[in-house]
Amino acid sequence: MEPIYVLSDPEREQLTAVLESVAKSPYENYEDFSQAVGDVIARGEVPSFFTDICARIHADRSSGASDAHALRNCPLDAEIPLLDLDDPVADKHAKKRTFVGEAFLELFAQLVKTPLLSYATRFNGDFFTDVVAINRYSGMQTGFSDSELVYHNDRTAHPVRADFISLLGMHCPEGEYIYTGFVDGRDLLAHLTDEEQAELRTAQFITPFDVFSRDNNKDLTVSEVHPILENHHSFRYLDTCTTAAPDAPVAAKDALLALKNAVVRADKTRHRIRTGDLFTFANQDGLHSRDKMEINDAAAARQRWLLKTYAFRDEAAAQRHSDRWLDGVRGRVGD
């Protein structure tokens, strides 16, 4: 996938200087950090080229023109540590003393008008999480492993799921070819009949919780019975894991098989996230994957680090989940 915009080095340096002025830590007090980024916007310090980029992405999402966008040569911290993969979260908190990457993601979210959310039982409730290969999850079907990932939504089994995901390449080894795949929900609909869509809109499917979620909450086993298709083209689906409920009719199982075929047949976008790339895409109005196309140094590939945010579609979507906010922190939801 070609980026919609490549920042020139002077543009990157100009925006980096603005972000370095945010003298707050997102891991000590997210609300203060978010407000500090908002103050940068209010003072008119954000370069016009970047506000124009964000306005374009917001317009594309609103019109349905595109739900996946990539930017290149984005601001990053001057020093980016390699993380200890036994406990990368603790290691990041110990080593990372500047927050340019986090400020960039927060600025992007505010300008595109998609409020961030976090999960109270994950990564200390941090709003900025790390897609890294945690050693104890090696080979498992979770975003925190070194494995490929089937097409899915993040947090499929959970009641609150982000509308958008943004991934910022912090450390992406050049010789390793790992791609993030994306298929738009509208392209999936094109391969499903009206009857199949109607079955998928009925609450007769279940999805097991992923291993990372179960480790954080032993009470989590399998989701409530849920539809796969919601709204116009929102999908709640984890390939190879989402199944028809035990008492579901044959028509539901046939519709699920039709969806599996649609995932194979639908047009797809793939983007290889490089260091300094931002890849942002719809979580519910599409499905995404991780494809290891060519790995030349497995140890180097395991050091790949993407900084990640979850976001609501808009302020109204955030307000609908206000009853799930915990600890008085806006946008933090339970597991």
Helix (H) or strand (E) holding 252, with range, is helix 250-265
- CA gap 169, 292 in Å, rounded: 16
Residues linked to residue 131 through DSSP beta bridges, in sequence order: 306
pLDDT in tens, 73-123: 999 999 999 999 999 999 999 999 999 999 999 999 999 999 999 988 788
Q: Is the pLDDT of residue 330 over 60?
A: no
pLDDT of residue 253: 98
pLDDT of residue 332: 63
What is the residue whose two structure tokens read 């979770």? 142
pLDDT of residue 154: 95
Report how far apart, in Å, the C-alpha atoms of 201 and of each of 44, 157, 205 are. Answer: 45, 16, 10
pLDDT in tens, 99-110: 999 999 999 999
Read off the pLDDT band of 320 (50, 70, 90). Answer: confident
pLDDT of residue 204: 97
Closest residue by Cα to residue 5 from 48, 44, 42: 48
- CA gap 244, 207 in Å, rounded: 9
> What is the arithmetic mean of pLDDT over 249-259?
98
pLDDT of residue 323: 57
Strand 234-235 to strand 229-230: parallel, antiparallel, or no bridges (unpaired)?
antiparallel
pLDDT of residue 216: 77
Residue with more model confidence, 326 or 273: 273
> Residue 247 is encoded by which pair of tokens?
């008492």
- Provide the sign of the torsion angle of the four alpha carbons 196, 199, 200, 206, taken in this order: negative
Lowest mean pLDDT among 18-32, 268-282, 305-319: 305-319
Q: What percent of the chain has pLDDT over 90?
A: 85
Half-sphere exposure of 133 (CA within 13 A, CB side): 18
Q: Is the pLDDT of residue 297 over 50?
A: yes
End-to-end CA distance of the chain: 33
> What is the arithmetic mean of pLDDT over 316-331?
61
Task: Check: CB of residue 102 under 8 Å from CB of residue 53.
Answer: no
Task: Check: CB of residue 93 under 8 Å from CB of residue 27.
Answer: yes
Closest residue by Cα to residue 271 from 221, 306, 236, 313: 306
DSSP code string of 64-119: TS-SEEEEES----S--PPPPTTSHHHHHHHH----HHHHHHHHHHHHHT--EEEE
Q: Is the pLDDT of residue 326 over 50?
A: no
Q: Is the pLDDT of residue 287 over 60?
A: yes
Query: If you ran DSSP here, which 8-state letter would residue 92 be given?
Result: H
> Residue 79 is encoded by which pair of tokens?
């020093």
How many contiguous H segments (helices) and E segments (strands) does the chain have?
11, 16
Task: Check: CB of residue 72 under 8 Å from CB of residue 3.
Answer: yes
pLDDT of residue 90: 95
Residues linked to residue 167 through DSSP beta bridges, in sequence order: 279, 308
pLDDT in tens, 206-245: 999 988 888 877 788 899 999 999 999 999 999 999 999 9
> What is the arithmetic mean of pLDDT over 175-196?
98
Q: What percent of the chain has pLDDT over 70?
A: 96
Which 3-state string (H, E, C) describes 153-218?
A: CCCCCCCCCCCEEEEEEEECCCCCEEEEEEEEHHHHHCCCCHHHHHHHCCCCEECECCHHHHHHCC
> Is the full-model pTM beyond 0.75?
yes
Task: Check: CB of residue 169 under 8 Å from CB of residue 308.
Answer: no
List Cβ neighbours of 243 (8 Å cut-off, separation of 6 or more): 205, 206, 207, 256
pLDDT in tens, 118-159: 988 788 899 999 999 999 999 988 889 999 999 999 999 988
- CA gap 224, 204 in Å, rounded: 9
